[in-house]
Amino acid sequence: MITTSGLTKTYRAHRSHGPEVTALDGVDLHVREGEVFGVIGQSGAGKSSLIRCINLLERPTAGTVTVDGQDLTALVGRGRRASRALREARSRIGMVFQHFNLLSSRTVRDNVELPLEILGMSGRDRSRKALDLLDLVGLADKADAHPAQLSGGQKQRVGIARALAGDPKVLLSDEATSALDPETTRSILQLLRDLNRQLGLTVLLITHEMDVVKSICDSAALMERGRVVESGTVGELLATPGSALASALFPVGGEATGTDRTVVDVTFRGESATQPVVSRLARTYNIDISILGAAVDTVGGRQIGRMRIELPGRYEDNVVPVGFLREQGLQVDVVTEQDRQPVPVEEGAHK
């Protein structure tokens, strides 16, 4: 549904002179139809630039953006007909902002009607559609209120209703929950998930919070210094040895008790979680195994368990027991010192 190819954006600090800042450095991203895709990264990683380049609010320096089969970059600056086509294409891409961007002088209903006015819809149709959208986001009773009379979560619901006005196939969310408290964050994420399922809406969201990715994303990408350094479905990421996103999505702690030890993360899914693998391993090889940490969690809607265990001896001495674990159908990652570096994103923090 969304593909970026070699997407690059450089800014110049002062119009014609000063150093260039490379905000996006050849980003290739593939977002499938109907999925919720999260892009996570530290402040300055290029997340906002990415989302603004995808809907062409910002003109990319190089590369292409294709949304629903249409190359949007081909429409930039190519005469009147192309710019009308670009406007139309953009109206099918909804955008939700961190600070809601509502017009304070307009009522809730009038805020939702605004994009419909721009699309030239007649007054009665506009009004009906705005009320339907407000109903969809659970705010039908606030149609005549003004934004100042609403809570943050309610304002974001209005922002979402407005984003849906053009019947978009794609919703872009720029830190939609960063200004909200944890409880409200949960309800807005649930709303985005419900809309994704009910309307088949593809959602691309950017966030600096791992919890957001964990609770609603089917796929995720990690950005660092303008590049996508990891991406995939949550299942693929969890199955990738050494994936920084996987260990941040599902951290399991525990330090080795000495240098002459092998530390292994074992990931369980579904049935395998119940197998008494650790005791079987200890019996088969007659070794003492310490459990350093363990957790069971729901990631991307699936129950997953992870355990960090320690075997006596170095890895070379444990090749056979590690192979035994893999033969049981478990995902086994041997943890090195380097793997234990923290992932550079915040977890559960709110701006």
Ligand X SMILES: Nc1ncnc2c1ncn2[C@@H]1O[C@H](COP(=O)(O)OP(=O)(O)OP(=O)(O)O)[C@@H](O)[C@H]1O
Under the rule (CB under 6 A), what is the footprint of ligand X? 11, 13, 21, 23, 41, 43-49, 208
Smallest separation, CB 131 to ligand X (Å): 34
Q: Least distance from C-beta 54 to ligand X, angstroms?
A: 12
CB of 40 or CB of 325, closer to ligand X? 40
What is the rounded CA–CA span in Å between residue 75 and residue 55?
12
Distance CA 210, CA 226 (A): 19
Question: Dihedrals φ, ψ of 81, to 5°?
Answer: -65, -40
Choice between 45 and 150, CB closer to ligand X:
45
> What is the nearest approach in angstroms of ligand X to the Cβ of residue 194?
26
Is the CB of 213 or the CB of 325 nearer to ligand X?
213
CA contacts within 13 A on the Cβ side of 73: 19
In whole angstroms, the minimum distance from the beta carbon of 217 to ligand X comes to 17
| Residue 65 or 139 having the CB closest to ligand X | 65
Q: Which is nearer to ligand X, 10 or 64 (CB)?
A: 10
Report the C-alpha gap between 144 and 123 in whole angstroms: 16
Please identify, using beta-carbon distances, which residue of 47 and 261 lies nearer to ligand X.
Answer: 47
Q: Which residues contact 119 (CB under 8 A, 6 or more apart)?
A: 91, 165, 166
Q: Which is nearer to ligand X, 53 or 171 (CB)?
A: 53
Closest distance to ligand X from the beta carbon of 206 (Å): 7
Q: Which segments of the chain are extended strands (E)?
A: 2-14, 17-31, 36-41, 62-67, 70-71, 93-96, 170-174, 202-207, 219-224, 227-233, 261-269, 290-299, 302-312, 331-334
Q: What is the smallest separation between the CB atom of 225 and ligand X, expressed in angstroms?
A: 9
List Cβ neighbours of 137 (8 Å cut-off, separation of 6 or more): 157, 158, 160, 161, 191
Paired tokens of 27: 């980003």
d(CA 160, CA 199): 13
Indicate the residue type of 336: T
Question: How far apart are alpha carbons 285 and 288 in whole angstroms?
Answer: 9
Instruction: Provide, rounded to whole angstroms, the least separation between the CB of residue 136 and ligand X.
Output: 29
